[in-house]
Amino acid sequence: MDKAYDHKKYEDDLYNFWEKKGYFKPEINPDGKPYSIVLPPPNVTGTLHIGHAFEGTLQDVAIRYHRMKGDKTLWLPGTDHAAIATQARFEKELHKKHKKSRHDFSREKFFGMVNEFALSNQDRILGQLHKMGFSLDWDRLAFTLDEKRETAVRTAFEKMYKKGLIYRGDRIVNWDPKAQTTVADDEIEYVEQKDPFYYFRYGPFVIGTVRPETKFGDKYVVMHPADKRYKDYKHGQKIELEWINGPIEATIIKDEAADMEKGSGVMTITPAHSAIDFEIAQKHGLDIEQVINDRGILLSIAGEFEGQHIKKARALIVEKLKKKGLVEKIDESYVHNVATNYRGGGTIEPQIKRQWFVAVNKEFVLENSKISGIQSGSEVTLKQIMKKAVESGDVKIEPKRFEKIYYHWINNLKDWCISRQIIYGHQVPVWYRDDDLYVGLNEPDGKEWRQDTDTLDTWFSSGLWTFSPLGWPDDVEGLKTFHPNSIMMPGYEILFFWVARMILMSGFLLGEVPFKRVYLHGIVRDKDGKKFSKSLDNGIDPLEMVDKYGTDALRMALIFGAAVGNDVVFDEQKVKGMKHFSNKLWNMARFIEINRTQGSKFKAQSSFEELDKIAKHNTDKKWVKKTARLASEITKHLDNYKFNLAAERIYEFAWHEFADVYIEDVKTRIDKNSFVILNSLFIILLKLLHPFMPFVTEAIYQEFRKNGIWIEGKDSIMIEKYPTPKS
């Protein structure tokens, strides 16, 4: 063996060896208890950052542990098409390199181009997953937008439509004029912004606004029914007043939605461009008039301002109102939150649009339910399914505090807008011909059917992710074995987007939960506690760390000190320290190799009981017991998903107990018997460590085999049996 451990010499070869042997496949433990995880699919166009490395490592530790326990273990790889994000990135490049936009191409052509772009990026991601040593079953690689997933998506859509859970409606939605698409409520990010706040005279009232450009359509003035200041005004009363483009007739509306504490307690409403105003308008059956179009241009209702962009028009409108003496005052230091698209950053302009929705509060009959507390054939809503799945304990969320957050979210959930006006994604499987509408898997027979041009929210296909890669709806065998998944390990920031949607989809389509457990991990931050992001340019390429210190060192450093659900601070020093640990293990192995003449050829024992019998020295016996105790501690931690505690304990033991004390002790008195014990215990230690540090443990294992130190046993440590105190 070389003097020091050189990770570059081993890692790639060992990974290829494992893969070729088929050791990542569940079939190596055909009779084991099923254990399954699906990889949260990374965005195809991105690169793996340190957070992915962390997330993947947690899963690989669980997977390798269960595989060694003898479970029929499946870890399913895949990537996500990330509709909006991918198309936006492509369009940016298209514009930069070729000065072209999506409108220069046919739909088919454009889709093909984006897809090609996406898939060309995919290789890089997959290469990174290999480098991290992740034991994924590559033969099952899936993509959220491949043919099989398309079938799954269309099947899901059709089933929901037939149950009346998917409907089309004209509703106020979050419109991103920049990306020209709808954005879901939870895809909105509020950004603090300072804007002038205007107080205008509106007849006898004073109203406040930051958005004068929306005010053309305001012909209703709303006040609280209990507001004494306005007790002389009656609901439905009409008043004449002078407004931007001349005299108008306004109607008084009394509604609790008006806050008496705020400003004058009176507001006008713009139903077409505000969600709350829209609700008020619907409640009272008021007229709804569009003022601003898709692109942020004022419509004819704006009179002389028609055709202007809202950004430019604002100042001009205020100027005109000033001249008319309708401006009461302007507060220049008003700070408020502006809704923006979290992917792309466009400012949201609420609009009324015809969109597809998933009804979360509509009752339907769930024929086949395996969810505790929901009877087959009973009437439920999707919301109830999502709630019950967690309440019943069928899905356990860890850390537990996130369950509260989950319930709170569910309780406030509104119908889910699933249609997007972009091209890249799953096209809505609905076809129209005159007044006919057809929903199904394929275009219906006959001529002149036109498919809906919208695509589905990327989370619609992600919601199917626990079972669509297993072959649903065509192949049920895989489902039987591996669904529900044993555990899901996403970051906590994705709880609503994804975890909740998977519970919804699985509950409705399969009548069961998607997974038994959710382990929410934290965000990896840099030394200053900042999130890694492209804009801050503080990103760390995992491959750089791997190259410098080795995959094992990176994996170990990420897990060390990372308690469930807590954020992790990434520190390169920690990785360096773990590289030293790899080297320490290597040198422990070298010590054994150098002393092998003492033991010549022998079969190392993996049974603690057997070792206890063989051991002659009391000190050796003591270390057999200590190691057995360690094994029971480690397995306990792993079973409870306390990976950090397991990693910390094993590190401490290997270095500061086994090496510093035991090896130092045995060094002076080594004989044939002690050698056998020492070597056997060391190999047990390697097995305990393997899920965390797969490469160095395997490298040593292979060196031992090659040098005749370890005669029997399997040809890879990764399929050896995980040490348990009883065996």
Partner RNA sequence: GGGCGCAUAGCUCAGUUGGUUAGAGCGUUACAUUGACAUUGUAAAGGUCAGAGGUUCGACUCCUCUUGCGCCCACCA
| Binding positions for RNA, 520-549, rule CB under 7 A | 525, 527, 529
Binding flag, residue 580, RNA (CB under 7 A): yes
How long, in residues, is the chain?
727
Which regions of 140-291 does DSSP assign to beta strands (E)? 142-143, 166-176, 181-183, 188-202, 205-209, 220-223, 238-243, 246-254, 266-268
The pairing of strands 246-254 and 220-223 is parallel
The percent helix, strand, coil of the chain (3-state, each to 5) is: 45, 20, 35
Residues within window 133-172 making contact with RNA, judged by CB under 7 A? none
Judged by CB under 7 A, which of 577, 598, 612, 724 binds RNA? 577
**Residue among 442, 421, 390, 504 nearest 83 (CA):** 421
377 secondary structure, DSSP code: T
Applying the rule CB under 7 A, the residues between 385 and 444 that interact with RNA are 401, 404-405, 408-409, 412
**For residues 115 and 268, which CB has a smaller minimum distance to RNA in the complex?**
268
* Sole window of 381-389, 534-542, 572-580, 671-679 interacting with RNA (rule: CB under 7 A): 572-580
Q: How far is the CB of 274 from RNA (least distance, A)?
A: 6
Q: Which of 353, 420, 574, 690 binds RNA (CB under 7 A)?
A: 574
Check: CB of residue 266 under 8 Å from CB of residue 221: yes
Helix (H, G, I), strand (E, B) or coil at 159: helix
CB of 209 to RNA, least distance (A): 3
CB of 428 to RNA, least distance (A): 25
Q: Which two tokens stand for residue 567?
A: 């954020």
Among 540, 645, 676, 683, binds RNA (CB under 7 A): 645
Q: What is the Cα 408 distance to its own chain's centre? A: 19
Instruction: Please list every residue from 200 through 259 that binds RNA, using CB under 7 A.
Output: 207-211, 222, 257-259
Stretch that binds RNA, among 146-154, 293-301, 367-375, 649-657 (CB under 7 A): 649-657
In the complex, least distance from residue 639 CB atom to RNA, rounded to whole angstroms? 12
Site for RNA in 658-697 (CB under 7 A): 659-661, 663-664, 667
Instruction: Answer yes or no: are the C-beta atoms of 54 and 524 closer than 8 Å.
Output: yes
Q: Phi and psi at residue 315, in whole multiples of 5°? A: -65, -40
Q: Considering CB under 7 A, how many residues would be counted as binding RNA?
A: 75
Tokens describing residue 346:
């466009």
Burial-class residue 183 by CB neighbours within 10 Å (0-12, 13-18, 19+): buried
- Cβ distance to RNA smaller for residue 36 or 355: 355
Phi, psi of 624 (to 5 degrees): -60, -45
Strand 327-341 versus strand 188-202 pairing type: antiparallel
Task: Say whether residue 639 binds RNA (CB under 7 A).
Answer: no
Query: Minimum distance between the CB of residue 132 and RNA, rounded to whole angstroms?
Result: 20
Residues 586-615 that bind RNA (CB under 7 A): 587-588, 590-591, 594
> What's 25's DSSP letter?
S
Q: Is 145 helix (H, G, I), strand (E, B) or coil?
A: coil
Nearer to RNA, 221 or 395 (CB): 221
Q: Which is nearer to RNA, 6 or 158 (CB)?
A: 6
Task: Report, in Å, the least distance between residue 366 CB and RNA.
Answer: 27
Helix axes 643-652, 50-68, angle to 10 degrees: 80
Residue 34 lies near RNA (rule: CB under 7 A): no
Residues 285-324 vs RNA: string with x where CB under 7 A? ----------------------------------------
566 lines the binding site for RNA (CB under 7 A)? yes
Question: Is residue 6 a contact residue for RNA (CB under 7 A)?
Answer: yes
